[in-house]
Structure 1
Amino acid sequence: MADVRWIYDLTIFLYAASVLFYLNDFLQSNRKVNRLAFGLLAVVWALQTAFFVSQAITKAYFPVITLFETLFFYSWVLVSLSLAIHYFFRIDLLVFFTNIIGFVVLVLSMFLPETPIKAVSHILTSELLLTHVTLAIFSYGAFSLSMVFSVMYLFQHKMLKERKWTPLLRRLPSLDQLEAYAYRMNMLGVPMLLLSIVLGTIWGKMVLPEKFLLDTKVFFSLLLLAAYSFWLYKRYRDTWQKRRLAQANILAFALLLINFFGVNTSNFHSWW
């Protein structure tokens, strides 16, 4: 892996530069800097893809098992979604805020081993498990974007309420658009998370003891699915104000972070 480590290091350097250029554009509305930031982000995506493929070839499995691998893949998903959103919707501020998350996630992976301390068994590399983890990370990516939309909604709502007319407001979609985008992202994330849990349950029934259903991470994953499903239900019934929906969406994402980083208490959900 050492021979491709330079790709990983260069990715972090260029990603940092891209985020800084986006920050400059955020503060000064500089379109030339914005284009440069986007160009660097496209290069970051290409480098991440190359590094990910090299890992898959070297390890002979889809690399989403260890914490390093899942963090790297999560960051890649966020960059990919950012590029797609930029192409279809041109929401520059969303790209900036999303890639703050993506960059932080990638930096966290720097402090982790690229390969597990123990050899990865054939059980852990089964197609069911790899699909389970992959779908979970994609759902987390969708929920991340939904959270960013909600943060932007609350920010714009506050600015309008206080009658603070700034140039930044002109770069934001309308409140209705922001709320609709958050809803669509959750509509994508919930089915993927549900399918991920179903596949994980099938895999668990095949290779793990019955008590795996009592595992802390399984419980929190079900709680997370219930939280986002309840959010969709309240949004469909239109019984909550949109500002309250945005706040609840951010709280649901906080639960996601707890599930991803804070719950790691079993042998089969251990990162090490």
Structure 2
Amino acid sequence: MLDSLIPRLQELTVILYAICVLLYFIDFLHQNRKANRVAFWLLLFVWILQSFSLYYYMVDTGRFPILTIFEGLYFYVWVLITLSLIINRVMKVDFIVFFTNIIGFMILVIHTFTPDQIGSTVRAEQLVSELLLIHITTAILSYGAFSLSFVSSILYLIQYNLLKQKKWGKRLWRIADLQKLEQFSYILNMIGVPILMIGIILGVRWAYIKLPIVPWYDPKVIGSIIVVMIYCIYIYFRIKKGMTGKSLALLNIAAFLILLINFFLIGNISSFHIWL
């Protein structure tokens, strides 16, 4: 019975998530605090539904469900929602929550309406390994940190343009100040980079154990290394060169877009890296 119920719950989750994002959008446009509060509690309910689905899938498969891109996307959305709920309660930065959940909603729609994943699930069963699970989990957690950092940079540019054009208003004051947004973005990248590096190291170790030859020239391997290098360049410019402001925000946005290309496009043409 639960097997037939889970797909319906996922569809309900998409609908509720869409309403949640719509309410956050209303709050964004009209500073409607009631819409913001309802959106928060609705988002919390979406998180509960997602957590239940993840738990059920984990019990059903006997493993943590992240070994395929289909599963990884769902876990990625769960991470984004979890982080946005924490930010909503701890930091009270509503617009970061709004833009983060736009990303989360788009990813959830892609996940929900992806064609049948039976083939990839069967393949995933052949890849079960604690080392691989940790590798993928750390990678997705780093993606969550980079996503929030990206949102902070987007808000930085919005705030920067509002200040430059001298458009004073409630929206200006509801976005965190430029220094706070830049610092938040930097801290998230400082967290994300070592987590991603750990994930890559674990992935290389897994490849040495499980594969006859480590495919160093695989597009996904090269793409992941490039992503780490770009974020390291961001940190270098921030610390050693003292880069701040709009240029740093644009560099961070470019880094995240390259990460997305590596995740969605390059991952699909990889010869062996079929999951994330």
Letter in 1 for 2:95: L
Q: Please state if 1:221 is matched with 2:224.
A: yes
Which residue matches 1:98? 100
Distance 1:22 1:62 in 2: 31
CA contact (8 A) 1:77 1:141 kept: yes
CA offset at residue 261 of structure 1?
Answer: 0.2
1:268 corresponding residue in structure 2? 272
Tell me how far apart the structure 1 counterparts of residues 118 and 69 of structure 2 sit (CA, whole Å).
9
CA contact (8 A) 1:69 1:114 kept: no
Cα distance in 1 for residues equivalent to 2:124 and 2:265: 24
Give per-residue Cα distances to partners, 1:146-180, cap 9 Å, x unaligned.
00000111111111111111220010111100000
Q: How many residues align?
A: 272
2:21 partner amino acid: V
Q: What do the CA deviations read for 1:86-115 (whole angstroms, capped 9, x no partner)?
A: 111000111000000000000001222464
Q: Distance in 1 between matches of 2:254 and 2:110?
A: 22
Distance 1:116 1:34 in 2: 39
Distance 2:116 2:96 in 1: 30
Contact 1:156 1:169 in 2 (8 A): yes
What's the counterpart of residue 180 of structure 2? 177
* Change in 2 beyond 3 A, CA 1:249/1:23: same
Distance 2:209 2:83 in 1: 34
Q: Shift of residue 122 of structure 1?
A: 5.0
Indicate the SS of the match to 1:51: helix
| Distance verdict in 2 for CA 1:176–1:14, change over 3 Å | same
Within the alignment, does 1:236 sit opposite 2:239 as a pair?
yes
The SS at the match of 1:157 is helix
Q: Whole-Å Cα distance in 2 between the matches of residues 121 and 75 of structure 1?
A: 20
The 2-side partners of 1:111 and 1:34 are apart by 28
Q: Secondary structure at the match of 1:213?
A: coil
1:34 is aligned to 2:40: no
> Which sections of structure 1, spanning at least 5 residues, go unmatched?
none
Q: Please give the residue correspondences for 1:1-272 in structure 2 after superposition, counting only pairs within 5 Å.
A: 1-113=3-115, 115-117=117-119, 119-120=122-123, 123-263=126-266, 264-271=268-275
Q: Distance in 2 between the 1:227 and 1:3 partners?
A: 43
1: CA distance between counterparts of 2:12 and 2:119? Answer: 25
Distance of aligned partners of 1:116 and 1:225 in 2 relative to their CA distance in 1, 3 Å threshold: farther
C-alpha displacement of 1:213: 1.6
2:138–2:198 contact (8 Å) kept in structure 1? yes
Change (3 A) 1:136 1:114: farther
Measured in 2, the distance between the counterparts of 1:143 and 1:29 equals 27
Cα distance in 2, alignment partners of residues 38 and 220 from structure 1:
36
Partner Cα distance (1:77, 1:255) in 2: 20
Closer, same or farther: CA 191–114 of 1 in aligned 2, 3 Å = farther
**For the aligned residues, what is the CA RMSD?**
1.5
**Deviates most, 68-77 or 2-11:** 2-11
Give the conservation status (yes or no) of the 8 Å contact 2:73–2:111: yes
Structure 1 residue 121 displacement after superposition: 5.5
Is the Cα contact below 8 Å between 1:66 and 1:116 reproduced in 2?
A: no
Relative to the length of structure 1, the TM-score reads 0.96
CA contact (8 A) 1:68 1:114 kept: no
